[in-house]
Structure 1
């Protein structure tokens, strides 16, 4: 059995590669999209929604292809819990977040509805290919509608979203970024999927819980750093947009794609009883915040952080029941 230090070192190196790959693909794709004349808001919206999920997307698809479905499931849904309980919580505790992007409240309801839909689909212990197709179509519909209704957003929101596409380089630089991203994401996913189960085994974790905790938390750390920087600059819309957009991507695009890629995805009974409801509850905790004064205070951030710690303790206790 591999030692903790051996597995941990490769695991950490995999996280570094995934962070580099995720950043490179976002910058390269944004540059090319702007050169092709795509609307800045549409490009920025895609980045806000997809940027934080690209590493998870690659890792989960690679895990499914390698027969590690439980690891992928844990990461996909665990990432939604971590989005709220770690990324948003830490950013709010560093600097209270003002959210002016009113459409996020509607997207939050969509994430809740999508999570409930996945829960219902999973009651028979399986996400079928048809289920996966429905989830993917739902993602495309929601994304297109948000672009078409972009005029309803305030100028301040437009400015924040379009700012993420700034810094466009030459075509050669953008293409180089995409090449670097492809290499880094592939080897990052390969190393993580290869060593995360061994690390989880050394720590006494099942593959599902390994995806829920160390993998989901580890892949979220670069986003936490980015959220803290955005919070300090007063860009609360970007922080909340990343969290909610990434959650929507995970529950619709990632799970839907996994179900199609694996020709149907087996869902453990415990996943239906505990993990999916937990993801629903964490997202639901944001409803009174985004339907109220549209601010996430330091105190609210602390509550979300404590909830995450409670969830982690619960998952660990469940291993020894």
Structure 2
């Protein structure tokens, strides 16, 4: 009883830190877009996504370097389906977003889908991602980011500001709080679930799988409530491109990644289905709202349910 009480206090404290951190992080990202003269979506893709994926991708690369490349792959692929199916979906349901830049649905989302499809094809060839295939994914991811950065720099909307160092410091402070809050939330949540006798299968599917993507979810909620949901959309697109190309690609270069049959037959198809709904919804609506978010959430629920059945059968 005492243990659960202490863990509950830790859980609440983690949520408070996470909420405040995501608030600071989103405000700093919003101000950076004004200072740099780029759109909220581009800030999400180029700055926020790199920041929010840094901790989990460090773990992925470390896992590959220490002989556990499957962890790197599971971390990357598990994150990308959650990012769109839950983070973007919830942010869209909470509040209708502003009109998205056409580059998002004409270039960024197709690139995200194409890289994921390429990783799936590579996985099917020999049931692994080889060093050569990892190198290809890595190069494509880097090329995308370089080109995206150059195009954003062509805008002449930047303004001189003495606040740039302050905003960068606030961004990093908010990120640190988000990471600490996420870790605390995940760890205390898992331990409370075990104390209450929740079956391991539910813990592994829900709490642990969600744990690495809490920063993206927190950013999505905060940006939606502040009326800048484009930051979340850009963050998720950028995070997914980083996960599938740079993180998985670099991990494969370090150590070839064997792919389990479940990823080939279940996770990849559901991921591409969610991406397709995302692309079609944005093409039709030109913005994120509940009509796009709700189908994404339902497909993710279907994925978790099928995953649960596959574990228990």
TM-score interval w.r.t. the shorter chain?
0.7 to 0.9
Offset at residue 60 of structure 1 (A): 1.8
Question: Which sits farther off after the overlay, 54-63 or 105-114?
Answer: 54-63
- Matched with 1:216 is 209
Normalised by the length of structure 1, the TM-score is 0.72
Assess, with a 3 A threshold, how the Cα gap between structure 1 residues 118 and 110 changes in structure 2: closer, same or farther: same
Q: Label 1:122 to 1:166 Cα distance change in 2 as closer, same or farther (>3 A).
A: farther
- What is the alpha-carbon distance in structure 1 between the residues aligned to residue 11 and residue 68 of structure 2? 19
1:294 paired residue among 282, 286, 302: 286
Task: Map 1:79-118 to 2 at 5 A.
Answer: 79-105=79-105, 106-118=107-119
Contact 1:89 1:302 in 2 (8 A): yes
Is 1:241 the equivalent of 2:246? no
Whether contact under 8 Å (2:278, 2:292) holds in the other structure is no
Structure 2 length as normaliser, TM-score? 0.74
Alpha-carbon distance between aligned partners in 1 of 2:208 and 2:262, rounded to the nearest angstrom: 19
Q: In the alignment, is residue 139 of structure 1 matched against residue 141 of structure 2?
A: yes
* SS at 1:98 equivalent: coil
Task: Give the Cα–Cα distance (whole angstroms) in 1 for the partners of residues 213 and 236 of structure 2.
Answer: 11
The Cα shift of 1:168 comes to 2.8
Q: How far is 1:109 from its partner?
A: 0.5
1:229 alignment partner in structure 2: 222
Does structure 2 conserve the Cα–Cα contact (< 8 Å) formed by 1:78 and 1:279?
Answer: no
Residue pair 2:69, 2:252 contacting (<8 A) in 1 also: no
Gap runs ≥5 in structure 1: none
For this pair of structures, how many residues does the alignment match? 291
CA RMSD between the two structures? 4.6
Pair 47,129 (structure 1): closer, same or farther in 2 beyond 3 Å: same
Change (3 A) 1:145 1:298: same
Is the counterpart of residue 69 in structure 1 residue 43 in structure 2? no
Q: CA deviation at 1:66?
A: 4.3
State the distance in 2 between where 1:61 and 1:83 align. 20
**CA displacement at 1:40 relative to structure 2:** 6.5
Deviation at 1:51, TM superposition (A): 2.4
Contact 2:82/2:300 (<8 A) preserved: yes
